[in-house]
Each structure stands twice: as C-alpha cells, then as structure tokens.
Amino acid sequence: MHDGADSCGIRSVIPGTNTARAFREALGRYATGVTVVTVDSEIGPLGITANSFASVSLDPPLVLWAPAKLSQRFSAFADAQYFAIHVIGAEQIHISDGFSRNGTAWDGLVWEPNEHRVPLISGCLARFECETVAQHPGGDHCIVVAEVIRAVWRDGSPLVFSQGRYGRFENPPPNPALAG
C-alpha cells in the first residue's frame, strides 16, 4: 500500500508485492558506487554491472556483492570460485553501460586474465580480485562473501548511481577554517 505524500512531499510505503516500485524509489535515494564484476565462465569471460557491493572486514579482508537470481548471468557468477570487482571511475560510464546490457561487452576494453583466468579490466578506479568464501540467501539475490586476494587502485572520482541516474562525486575544496 502506498500512502501518498504529505504536504512536505514526504512519501511513505509499506513494502510488499503491490508496492515494489515505490519501495525501489525509496531505496534509490541511497547513492551507491558502480562496479563491474567479472568471471571466467564456460562461454568465456563475462561481466555484469552491480551496485550491491560492500566491504565487510579488514581482517580477514572480506567484501560482498549480491547477484540477482533472475539475471541470465546468475549461475556463472554465483558458481564462480574466483572473480574480480572493478570500481568504475566517473569517466568510465561506457564500461558500466556495456556490462549492464551485455555480459560480453569487451570490445574496446583493455583487459587480461589473472592466474585464475578471471578477466581484469585495466584502468578502473579500484579492483579487488576475490575468492568466494560463503554464500547466503538474500531474497531475490544471493549474497556472495569473498576474501580479497589482491587490491589495485588509482586516484580519481568514482561513478555513482542514485535515483536511476549516474552521477559523480567530486572532492570538495579545502575548508580554510580547518587549516592549521
């Protein structure tokens, strides 16, 4: 049931089957980073755009991500022992767009396989090479927890996603009041 909006434009929803779209709108208010997860599969290298990524632990170094069970690429990602998570830079929207539509959007990308044959995209803002350590049911997704076996990063601005649109985060100018 969608309760509508009050005089200040605040909307309310009780999540359920009939209110899934409104609930998704509420979730969309949380800006996330954009990643592309890659694996080696039976049909060759695959990628998928995902914003369900989070750090879990520093010791041991654990991260998680959650592939959607309805994705045609789900099995390749859920069954992978090794995979890589690429944090996409603001100038790399084409990488995110490509893999959101097609799991084999490698044309024009510079990449190479690691020792586990996982495709590693060059030049991303950060990359985490991972080994799956646990999986948990998560409704219409599977929560994959992995140990990071290598991390690579560079300076730059991340690509972010909020309310169904891409954006970017820029570092704010220095605050003179905080200068010593």
| Confidence at residue 169, expressed as pLDDT on a 0 to 100 scale | 77
Report yes or no on 5 lying in a domain. Answer: no
Report yes or no on 10 lying in a domain. Answer: no
Q: From CA 135, how far away is CA 115, in angstroms rounded?
A: 23
Report yes or no on 82 lying in a domain. Answer: yes
Report yes or no on 68 lying in a domain. Answer: yes
> Using an 8 Å Cβ cutoff, are 132 and 83 in contact?
yes
Other CB atoms within 10 Å distance of the CB of residue 94: 12
Which secondary-structure segment (H or E) carries 76? helix 74-78
Residue 75 has which token pair? Answer: 């099995």
Phi, psi at residue 5, to the nearest 5°?
-115, 145
Structural domain including 130 reads 34-155
Q: From CA 133, how far away is CA 62, in angstroms rounded?
A: 9
Q: Report the CATH number at residue 38.
A: 2.30.110.10
| Confidence at residue 3, expressed as pLDDT on a 0 to 100 scale | 55
Report residues of the chain scoring pLDDT below 70: 1-5, 171-172, 178-180
Report yes or no on 105 lying in a domain. Answer: yes
Report yes or no on 136 lying in a domain. Answer: yes
Report yes or no on 174 lying in a domain. Answer: no
| Confidence at residue 98, expressed as pLDDT on a 0 to 100 scale | 96
| Confidence at residue 21, expressed as pLDDT on a 0 to 100 scale | 86
Report yes or no on 146 lying in a domain. Answer: yes
| Confidence at residue 109, expressed as pLDDT on a 0 to 100 scale | 97
Query: How many domains would you assign to the chain?
Result: 1
